[in-house]
């Protein structure tokens, strides 16, 4: 042990005794933090300094004291052990033993309260092992710890593109671009996702603003042969049908969600039929052609538009109507499960997408759409 380490150990021992005698003294926590910085333990120093502002629980404090006493005796601290495990995992990875490296890092992640950096490593290995679902779960766990990680958002985007989930890929890459708007990988992934989802109108506008990387010429010029005109819904309701739908819809809470809508033709038709509640607020979620949809929605007066994310739906108030614009053979995002299982929420979806959702009955079906209404609601 060199002179600096010996002095540090002695100082820490005295300070640990002081903090045991008086755990409420912030100056002691700061002094311990300073001693740890001398030895180069930056993360632990930050931990103890934070406790000078907010006193830790007795169990956390006792564990930290025990770790530092090991350090003062020259034994490997938990930080050293973590570094050893990381090095061991890296060695396994370099030898091509991905499963063993993943298992080692996964155990380390749970032992250390799921730190973002280790979660990212586990997610990367899960992706290389071919388990996209678990890889995405680990990446999202990392983002819960630290949202401002654009490359993690982009890694999830790549996973979604590999699974042909174009709409969710667009939504995810946009989240990453919030933190790094000019990131080359993010811009390329956004372009790919929009191309695959046929979001031509959004792509054309981005291209006109020189906000796209070099285009994939296999898709041809963005405006060549593309029609940006919305297909009009040609559906005439009988007076009885119109009265029934108006009774159902205009009495719903005036906050509706629109998931994966490319165009606003359905809402424009509903407005013409006077089926929309007053002061409607529409939350647009994961649109595959967001600029096209925004332009169409601007034709709806007295409509408040907000942009939502499937990742933040857990804290939202239940919508008056959940509208889903997905193909009948496409899986729904897992984040929607609580809302689909909420038996009080009406659902509007293309024919065939929903197979008898729980506790609801179909009250209207025409024009390629089905309206499923809660059994418990009065019609």
**3 state DSSP class of 240:** helix
Q: What percent of the chain has pLDDT over 70?
A: 83
Band of pLDDT at residue 217, cut at 50, 70 and 90: very low
Burial level of 358, CB count in 10 A (0-12/13-18/19+)? exposed
What was the pLDDT predicted at 181? 85
State CA 194 to chain mean position distance. 18
Residue entry with tokens 């006493």: 69
Domain ranges of the chain: 3-75, 94-214, 239-374
Band of pLDDT at residue 156, cut at 50, 70 and 90: very high
Structure tokens at 240: 């009885």
pTM above 0.85, yes or no: no
pLDDT at 3 over 50: no
CATH number of 94-214: 1.25.40.10
pLDDT at 378 over 60: no
pLDDT at 53 over 70: yes
What was the pLDDT predicted at 44? 73
Contact at 8 Å (CB) between 136 and 168? no
What was the pLDDT predicted at 75? 46
What one-character-per-residue DSSP string does 177-209 give?
HHH-TT-HHHHHHHHHHHHHTT-HHHHHHHHHT
pLDDT, tens digit, 9 for 90 and up, residues 16-40: 878 888 888 888 888 888 777 666 5
Contact at 8 Å (CB) between 35 and 15? yes
What was the pLDDT predicted at 37? 66
What was the pLDDT predicted at 148? 85
pLDDT at 225 over 60: no
Please give the residue that has the higher pLDDT: either 81 or 247: 247
CATH number of 239-374: 3.40.50.150
Residue entry with tokens 């990742």: 311
- Report for 48-62, 129-143, 228-242: range of highest mean pLDDT: 129-143
pLDDT at 231 over 60: no
**3 state DSSP class of 170:** helix
Please give the residue that has the higher pLDDT: either 140 or 201: 140
pLDDT, tens digit, 9 for 90 and up, residues 303-313: 787 777 777 77
Q: Do 94-214 and 239-374 fold alike per CATH?
A: no
């Amino acid at each position: 042990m060199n002179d600096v380490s010996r002095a540090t150990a002695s100082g820490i021992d005295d300070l640990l005794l002081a903090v045991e005698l008086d755990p409420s003294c912030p100056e002691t926590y700061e002094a311990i933090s300073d001693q740890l910085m001398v030895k180069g333990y930056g993360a632990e120093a930050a931990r103890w300094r934070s406790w000078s502002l907010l006193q830790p629980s007795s169990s956390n404090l006792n564990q930290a004291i025990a770790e530092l006493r090991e350090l003062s005796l020259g034994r490997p601290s938990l930080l050293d052990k973590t570094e050893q495990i990381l090095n061991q995992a890296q060695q396994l990875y370099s030898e091509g033993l991905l499963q063993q490296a993943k298992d080692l890092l996964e155990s380390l992640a749970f032992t250390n309260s799921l730190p973002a950096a280790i979660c990212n490593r586990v997610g990367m290995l899960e992706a290389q092992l071919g388990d996209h679902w678990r890889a995405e779960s680990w990446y999202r766990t990392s983002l819960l710890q630290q949202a401002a990680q654009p490359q993690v958002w982009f890694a999830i985007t790549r996973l979604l593109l590999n699974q042909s989930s174009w709409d969710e890929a667009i939504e995810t890459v946009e989240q990453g671009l919030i933190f790094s708007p000019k990131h080359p990988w993010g811009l390329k992934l956004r372009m790919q996702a929009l191309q695959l989802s046929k979001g031509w109108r959004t792509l054309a506008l981005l291209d006109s603003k020189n906000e796209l990387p070099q285009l994939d010429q296999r898709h041809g010029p963005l405006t060549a042969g593309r029609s940006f005109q919305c297909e009009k819904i040609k559906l005439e309701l009988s007076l009885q049908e119109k009265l029934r739908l108006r009774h159902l819809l205009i009495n719903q809470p005036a906050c509706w969600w629109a998931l994966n809508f490319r165009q606003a033709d359905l809402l424009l038709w509903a407005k013409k039929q006077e089926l929309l509640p007053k002061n409607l607020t529409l939350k647009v979620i994961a649109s595959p052609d967001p600029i096209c949809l925004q332009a169409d929605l601007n034709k709806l007066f007295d409509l408040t538009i907000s942009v939502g994310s499937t990742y933040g739906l857990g804290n939202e108030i239940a919508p008056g109507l959940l509208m889903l614009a997905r193909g009948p053979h496409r899986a729904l995002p897992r984040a929607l499960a609580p809302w689909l299982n909420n038996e009080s929420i009406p659902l509007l979806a293309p024919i065939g997408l929903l197979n008898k959702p729980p506790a609801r009955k179909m009250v209207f079906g025409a024009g390629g759409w089905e309206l499923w209404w809660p059994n418990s609601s009065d019609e």
